[in-house]
Every structure is written in C-alpha cells, then in structure tokens.
Amino acid sequence: MSDLRQPSRRLARHRLRRMGTRGLQAPSLQPADEAGSMHPDASIDCGWGRLIFGQTFADPKVLVDTLMQEGADRRDIGFYIADPHVVLSHAPQDLFLDPSHTYRLNLATYRPSRRRASGFHVRRLASEADAHAVNRIYQSRGMVTVDPVFFWSHRDSRALTYLVAEDEATGAIIGTVTGIDGPRAFGDPDNGSSLWCLAVDPQATHPGIGETLVRRLAEHFQARGRAFMDLSVMHDNASAIALYEKLGFERVPIFAIKCKNPINEKFFTGSADAFAGLNPYARIIVDEALRRGIQVEVTDAAGGFFRLTHGGRSIHCRESLSELTSAVAMSICDDKAVTRRVVEHAGVRVPEQIVADDDRAALETFVEKHGSIVVKPARGEQGRGIAVGIDTVEDAERAIEVARVQSDRVLLESCFEGEDLRLVMIDYRLVAAAIRRPPIVTGDGHTTIRELIERLSRRRAAATGGESSVPLDGETERCVRQAGYDLDDVLPEGEGVTVRKTANLHTGGTIHDVTGQVHPRLIEAAVAATRAIDIPVCGIDFMVKTPHEPDYVFIEANERPGLANHEPQPTAERFVDLLFPLSMPYSSRAARQQKPKDP
C-alpha cells in the first residue's frame, strides 16, 4: 500500500507547485444537482464572526475592505487566502497572518471508527438550552460566544451544521463542533467542507469527546458527498495536531488572515517569553495587568512571583497572594484549627473537630460518633494529605500517618455529606463560585481502573496546563477498594467509581461554575469569614447540600485561591481592580463606589 501511495503524493506536490491552492482539491464527489458557479466575494455569518472565503475574491482590495468591516466583539476570518502577502500589503497595520496550520481530510478515503463512544453521544443542536451550554463551553475556552438566538435560528441551516456531545448520565453538553458546507455556503466548485469551533468542556471526564465530534462531522459531510473537510489549528497546539494526523488529516498550504483587534491581540503582538515560565494562576493576573498598561516584573517564574507597578504604586504578588494580605491573615489561614476558631467566633458554622493523638480510644469514639470523618493536616495546601469519608479506625490510623507527612499536627473532623463549594472573595465581595467534584472514572469493559485513572490524569493535565492529575497513592487505592475493586480490576462498561473523595483540582477534581446560583446566606457566611480573618482575597470552602440552599459547614480558607480555575468569571479583573483601582475606567470606579461592600 505504501509503495502505491508514494508516487501519488509526489504528483500531488508537483501539482501544488504548478496550480497553487486550486491544486489541493480532492477527487470530486459532488452530486450533479449541486453543481454551479462559485459565488463572488462570498462570506457566511457564523455567529462569532464571518468566515470570508478568500478564493471567491478576484480583487484583494475588496477582500481587505470586507475584512475591515468586522463588527465589535467579533472575530472574522479570511480563509483560503492564496496570496496572503499581497492581501497584507494593502493593510499591514490592520491585518495579520494567523499563526495557524490548515489540515485536510480526504473524505473519499476516510473510514469511520468501529469503536463506539462510551458515556456520551453526539447529536445536532436541538434547543435554546443547548445553545446556552455551547456558549458556556466557548467561554471556558476563551472563545467568542454566539447569541443563542443565532444558534436557534440556524439550527436547520443547509450551510451550517452544529453538533453537540451530550453526557448520557447527566444530559449535560460536554462538547461541540461547527461544520460549514462549501457548495451550500458559496457554491464551492471544489466540493469541500470545513470544521470550526471544536471545543470540549475542560471539566469533562469522558475520553475521546473531541475525536468523536470530528469523526461525526466528517461522516456527516461524507454522506453529503463532499470531497474533503478542512480545519485550522494553532501551530503550537501539539495535542490537537496529533489527533488530526491520527485521523488522517494532512497539512495543506492554505492561510488565514484576521483583523488586529483585542480578541486576537496575543496572536500578533509576539510571544511574551518573559512570562512563559509562569503557571496559569500567575499568568491570568499578569495578562490582565499587561492589558491595562501596568508594568510587570517577574521575580521568580517557577514560584509564581511577580511585581506589578502602576504610577507610584508597586505591589509584589505570588499568584493571587499580594502584599495587601497581612502576615497575620496568612498565618490564620495556614493553620486550619486556628481558621476554624476565628470564623466560629464570627458566627460561621463549623464541623466538630479534634486533634489526632495517640489515644486510640478517643479515635474510636470519634469515628463511632460520626460514622464518617475527615482526616487532614493542620497545615498544607492543594489537598495534600487529606482523606475524606474515613469510616473505620484502621483507615483513620493509616490516613493520620499520611497526613503527618504534611504536618506534625493532624485534625479529625466530622464529615458533612454534600458538595464542595469554593467561593472566591475579593475585597469582601463574591466574585466567583464553583462546585468542585471529585475525580470519577467510567468503565468500558476492557480497561483496568489503573489505566482509566492514568487516562483521566492525562486529560485533566491537558485541560489545566499540567496543574491537575490523580495521584496513584494509598488514598486512591482506599477509595477504589471502598467501591469494591482493586486498581488492576477491569471496570464494567458504564460503571463509575469515585477514585478520590477530595474534590481538589490538583488531585484530579473538576470545577463547575455556580456563581449566579449561590444562596444569599452562603454569601453572607463567606463575607463573615473573610471579615473575621481580615483578608482581602480568599477562597472560602464550604460543604453544602446544594448551592441553592442555605445549609453549609465551613471547611477552610485559602489565602491564595487559583483565579484561573474560575473563568469566565472576572476574577483577574477584580483582583487587579483591588490592587490598582485607578487602572479601572472612571465609569467602572464610579459604579463600584455606589455599591455596598457587603451583600
């Protein structure tokens, strides 16, 4: 097979040199009833902006004029640009060459996968709720959102195809992709199609969502008789490129041109090498500061330290911990027993707590009284050393030994059944709220739990810039054993196992935004806790039955909450507002001063 294909590839390259972009076309499968002439100066509104088909423009000046008509908060794309250098020469200050690669899938030779998706299915966008869910995913990925009315009004479009991936257990939309049919969009004589806006919920745990969406769209266009499917991918997105090449896509010399605007700014201002070493929690703040013209000096990239300077004011930060947080407030948060006492005096509800010692009888009494307990080090962060749902003395003793690696003093708490709620408080106001859920793996009938955990860790690491993974340690083994399995057991298809009881992001947990759903009593309790600690930026953790109800118990306070975990909520914006209020627009400062500080 390889001997037969090689000459054809050489011939294809020869044709490219002779014919330019038109030589890229795959063998035409176009039905006779769709044959027709190409529409001149064609574009299609995709909701987030227009896709402008460069090959339909005879005059590059007209193409430039069309690009320059981009609307506010939109991202138009000039695609299939055969001579980008010529187009750019007409407006070098306003346009830029997008740093992305184009890949093409030949639908005449594409073969569908025999493997069936597990835990989700792909279907067309079918409701306004679907549209809102797609926008939520777009926001989480930093993409331009679309008016839900546009989605809904174009659900039956012949040129646009919207697919979504739906979780079979929860009904949640966990992925989306958009397809454009070339003949139906602009009378494409090459009989092509293209893929846009592939996005997967960063909190989704099922494997293969992106691949399945790409395959379903390819099969959709293949059934329509299209010859190929193109897509554009950022040049440095190694994981996406690896997926596309695995599916049979090949790179082709097709270019995209975009307008210089705030949305695209990071693609044409050059790489910020000085900030490349910062983790996502520091980088989100630095990017917001740079956007406002605030000077940034990285003092220790590996540790997340940087200094921000604006006018005569200079503040040293470590991620969301700044000089505005006092050493006293930080020391209160550092010791979980002290934190509990301080917030309890302020009227915040706290769980019963004792210090673990060598008194086994006291341990037995505490476990017997509460049935299920939490073991955690008095000092520590990122969920290290914490064990939740301990229901035997033997497991408690093992968990205490693990916790003592993090801190000499270990605490035992009564376990409150419910969900883990993180409230991000900045300047004693609620800015973001999220339910944090522990990592779960779902069986496929032939993969061991250990392998499923390793796959989940790779997906979580990819979604969080390497910040999240599931440790294969004693606590994970205990949770798997509590579910009736060993790590090397094969999990039956469709069955889920919670492999950690803690919902911390760094140990594989997922984060789900509920900012607009938090009960006022929960906000009042969080304000009371931050006031009691006297800390201007803090992550307050509650266990709640649901964020819609007032029942809760306080768990802990984090003096350095990860602001990047709560996009699209404006956590970085409010943090920089706190540090440099004069960097805010006057209208925003005036509106903020009129609002009461407490809810």
pLDDT at 249: 97
Distance separating alpha carbons of residues 377 and 414, to the nearest angstrom: 15
pLDDT for the residue numbered 384: 75
The pLDDT value given to residue 335: 87
The region of weakest confidence among 243-257, 360-374, 378-392 is 378-392
pLDDT score for 4: 30
The pLDDT, as a whole number, for residue 23 is 39
The phi, psi pair for 87, rounded to 5°, reads -60, -45
Task: Determine the pLDDT at residue 311.
Answer: 86
- The CA distance from 322 to 305, in Å, is 10
Residue 262 has pLDDT above 50, yes or no: yes
Q: Using 50, 70 and 90 to split pLDDT, how confident is the model at 6? A: very low
Query: What are φ and ψ of residue 68, in 5° steps?
Result: -70, -10
- What is the arithmetic mean of pLDDT over 239-249? 93
The residues with which 233 forms a beta bridge, in sequence order, are 101
Edge-first strand order for the sheet with 77-81 is: 43-45, 50-53, 77-81, 255-259, 95-97
Angle made by CA atoms 283, 506, 413, in degrees to the nearest 5:
130
Mean pLDDT, range 571-594, rounded to an integer: 79
Q: How far apart are CA 205 and CA 497, in angstroms?
A: 12
Q: Which residues face 234 on adjacent strands?
A: 100
pLDDT greater at residue 596 or residue 72: 72
Specify the range with the lowest mean pLDDT, choosing from 234-248, 328-342, 454-468. 454-468
> What's residue 15's pLDDT?
34
Q: Is pLDDT larger for residue 552 or for residue 503?
A: 552
The per-residue pLDDT of the chain, averaged, comes to 86
142-183 pLDDT, tens digit each: 888 999 889 888 888 899 999 999 999 889 999 999 999 999
Of 469, 463, 470, the C-alpha closest to 567 is 463
Please state, in angstroms and as integers, the Cα–Cα distance from residue 288 to each residue in 525, 578, 580, following that order.
29, 13, 12
pLDDT of res. 25: 40
In the DSSP assignment, the letter for residue 212 is H
Q: Grade residue 418 by pLDDT with cuts at 50, 70 and 90.
A: confident
Strands 510-513 and 321-322: what pairing? unpaired
Give me the pLDDT at residue 592, please.
Answer: 63
Closest CA to 176 of 229, 120, 219: 120
473 has a pLDDT exceeding 90: no
Which residue shows structure tokens 């627009």?
585
- At 252, is the pLDDT very low, low, confident or very high (cuts 50, 70, 90)? very high
Compute the average pLDDT of residues 548-560. Answer: 93
pLDDT at residue 7 in the model: 35
pLDDT range class, residue 383, cuts 50, 70, 90: low
pLDDT at 5: 33
User: Is omega for the bond preceding 568 within 30 degrees of 0, making it cis?
Assistant: yes
Phi first, then psi, for residue 532 (nearest 5°) are -65, -40
Average pLDDT over residues 244-249: 95
Q: How far apart are CA 218 and CA 211, in angstroms?
A: 11
Please check the confidence at residue 362 and state whether its pLDDT lies above 70.
yes
Contact between residue 549 and residue 559 where contact means Cβ atoms under 8 Å apart: no
Q: Give CA separation, 247 vs 23, 106, 215, 354, in Å.
A: 22, 10, 8, 56
For residue 522 the two structure tokens come to 């929960």
- Domains of the chain from N-terminus onward: 2-103 (no CATH), 114-244 (3.40.630.30), 353-414 (3.30.1490.20), 439-500 (no CATH)
Exposure string of 318-335, with b = 16+ CB inside 10 Å and e = fewer, is: bbbbbeebeeebeebbbb
Under DSSP, the state recorded for 58 is S
Predicted pLDDT of residue 33 = 39
Angle, helix 327-334 to helix 520-533, in steps of 10 degrees: 120
Residue 157 CB contacts under 8 Å (≥ 6 apart), including other chains? none
Q: Of 252-256, 347-351, 500-504, which gets the smallest average pLDDT?
A: 500-504
What pLDDT band is residue 31 in, cutting at 50, 70 and 90?
very low
- Cα–Cα distance, 245 to 240 (Å, whole number): 9
User: Which pLDDT score, from 0 to 100, does residue 369 have?
Assistant: 80
Residue 588's pLDDT is 61
Cα four-point dihedral sign 143, 146, 152, 157? negative
Residue 201 near residue 137, CB atoms below 8 Å: yes
Q: What is the mean pLDDT of residues 276-303?
A: 90
Per-residue pLDDT tens digits for 49-102 = 999 999 999 999 999 999 999 988 889 999 999 899 999 999 999 999 999 999
- pLDDT at residue number 27: 36
Name the pLDDT band for 271 (thresholds 50, 70, 90). Answer: low
The percent of residues above 90 in pLDDT, for the chain, comes to 50
Looking at residue 203, its pLDDT comes to 83
User: At 272, is the pLDDT very low, low, confident or very high (cuts 50, 70, 90)?
Assistant: low
Instruction: Report H helices in 513-570.
Output: 520-533
Residue 316 token pair:
């040293």
Contact 323, 535 (CB under 8 A): no
Query: What average pLDDT does the segment 31-56 reach?
Result: 82
Closest CA to 463 of 429, 488, 439: 439
**Which is more confident, 152 or 253?**
253
